[in-house]
Amino acid sequence: MKRHALLFASAMVGAIVFLLDGWAVDIGESIVMQGVPGKVAACATCHGAHGEGGGDGVYPRVAGQPAAYVETQLKAFRDGSRASQLMSPMAAGLSDSDISAVAVYLERQRPPFPAPPQATPSQLERGQGLVTIGRWEEGVLSCTSCHGATLQGVAPAIPSLAGQSAQYLSAQLRAYRDGQRSPGPLELMKRVARGMSSEDVEDAALYIASLRPGAQPEIPQPAKPQPYAARPQSPDAFVPPPDSAIPAGPYGDLVRLGQSIFQDTPKHARQYAGNTLSCRNCHLDRGRDAQSSPMWAAYVHYPEYRKKDGLVNTIQMRIQGCFRYSQNGIVPEADSRELTALVTYAYWMASGLPVGVKPKAAGYPKLDPPAAIPSPERGAKVYATRCALCHGADGLGRSGGGEQVFPPLWGPQSFNWGAGMHQTDRAASFIKTNMPYGAGGTLTDQEAWDVAAYVNSRPRPQDPRFIENVEKTRVLYHSDHEYDYYGREVDGLVLGAPGTLEQWEKNNREKNR
């Protein structure tokens, strides 16, 4: 009886949620199509019936934007924190629930893209470079870094650029540059826009506007091979060859496969990936970046003895460790196609580096011991202001356009308790040099230690070396590093104990109900 009542109640809740949702969409459609009588003009007047934009590119495409982003913008128009003579009066006439309804309606629209703009091949080529590579030495991150590989945006905070007009995109970049638009989260867009010339702005906007729906901009292949680096590298650092130097033929094909696996491991090494992380999440710029464990440095470093498994590790064995721990997955055979592809990619990147010699300026420096014992509580505050934008307040990362754009830092889809990154000292050093993405070095040492402690005192998947119980496993594998939270009690849960991750997920579901 009880069971049936529960099922019935559950079904009713589901039905109500469904109906409310549909109701909001209906209200949203009504406001978009007809406005709010006497207060707000129909959105469709300028932005089109399906949010496709209008006025020959003056009025932006608002279709397909993350609802939370549209909500934030409409509220910003309403309270004046985003200035617009046109939009502010409209937003003033909308209630919070009107705004939500409009945002939800627009998020679901998929009108066709406008016709691509007139642009010369050289404009598109320059734009492609800025969009996919950027010019980090002047603060210009690539657009794809945050807006996703297909520029479709990442909920909740990062808007879609896909299908937007060149006119609107360049107007916004100029507004960021000139301070007419608030600098955005982490002031990233202000920094990006200030690093761009008027020509840069125009070319990047033209290139984005020329993309077709779902198209993934490719990293350009300059006619004359020239190295590039996604962010400023030490002049002493080794520069791996550019993608354009990958030769044709089966060898080059395998290099490219390795690069694809590196870029999107769950997609290209599906049978081995145990979570949504990709190699590039720790080895930035697809393993090229000198400051975050570059793969070219690893290639010339192995075979080497590792205390972790008590064996001399070949590069294959070392990468197997990544699959076992960081990707919480299945270990590929040493001669599997996937592992061979990754090794071949690393070999290709290491072209010209001397074997067995530690390359200069490779890796991130080890942070000094912390002045104060790392505090997860302090770290939580750093996390909220500097990390949550990309990794989510819940630590579960952010997806957009079908890909994991920002990696989960804890929870079921993150690295497990055996991964090197679960060591607070390792994570703190990585974070200090590399995070926030595009603004490495801006945290104090203590902030880096604290936020690493926060991240690594959250639940994550079990250590594959788990034996008998959490105490024994802690003694065997978690007693070498200070500030290792494995086996410690945090928020009433013993980290690493069987069932902890599941309990934590259950608590989250209940909290969010």
- Binding residues vs its own copies (CB under 8 A): 249-251, 254, 299-300, 302-305, 310-312, 314, 316-317, 333-335, 340, 343-344, 347-348, 350-357
- Residue pointed to by tokens 């630590």: 395
Q: Which residues of 162-185 are buried (b: 16+ CB within 10 A; e: fewer)?
A: bbbbbbbbbbbbbbbbeeebeebb
Shortest approach of its own copies to residue 420 CB, angstroms? 20
Can you read off the two tokens belonging to residue 174?
A: 């100029």
Structure tokens given for 30: 């009504």
The closest alpha carbon to 475, from 58, 484, 37, belongs to: 484
Coil, helix or strand at residue 465: coil
Shortest distance in whole angstroms from residue 120 CB to its own copies: 37
Q: Which is nearer to its own copies, 155 or 334 (CB)?
A: 334
Q: Which is nearer to its own copies, 8 or 305 (CB)?
A: 305
Residue closer to its own copies (CB basis): 42 or 334:
334
Smallest gap from residue 295 Cβ to its own copies (A): 12
| 479 CB-side CA count, 13 A | 7
The token pair at 406 is 């920002």
Rounded to whole angstroms, the Cα distance separating 48 from 36 reads 16
Q: In the complex with its own copies, which residue's Cβ is closer, 6 or 312? A: 312
Measured from the CB atom, the residue of 178 and 304 that comes closer to its own copies is 304
Residue with tokens 């500097």: 386
Name the β-bridge partners of 404: 399
Smallest distance from its own copies to CB 351, Å: 4
Question: Taken in order 430, 436, 437, 438, is the CA torsion positive or negative?
Answer: negative
With respect to its own copies, which residue has the nearer C-beta, 302 or 466? 302
Instruction: Give the separation between CA 22 and CA 16, rounded to whole angstroms.
Output: 10
Q: CB of 124: closest distance to its own copies in angstroms?
A: 33
Distance CA 346, CA 257 (A): 11
The minimum distance between CB 301 and its own copies, in angstroms, equals 10
Helix (H) or strand (E) run with residue 494 in it: strand 493-494
Closer residue to its own copies in complex, CB, 281/313: 313
Supply the minimum distance, in Å, between the C-beta of residue 317 and its own copies: 6
Report the distance separating Cα 205 and Cα 202, nearest Å: 5
Distance between start and end Cα atoms, the chain: 24
Single-letter code of the amino acid located at 252 = G
Whole-angstrom distance, CA of residue 32 vs CA of residue 23: 14
Angle at alpha carbon of residue 143, lines to 140 and 146, rounded to 5°: 105
Least distance from C-beta 339 to its own copies, angstroms? 9
Comparison of 306 and 465: residue with beta carbon closer to its own copies: 306
**Min dist. Cβ of residue 264 to its own copies (A):** 21
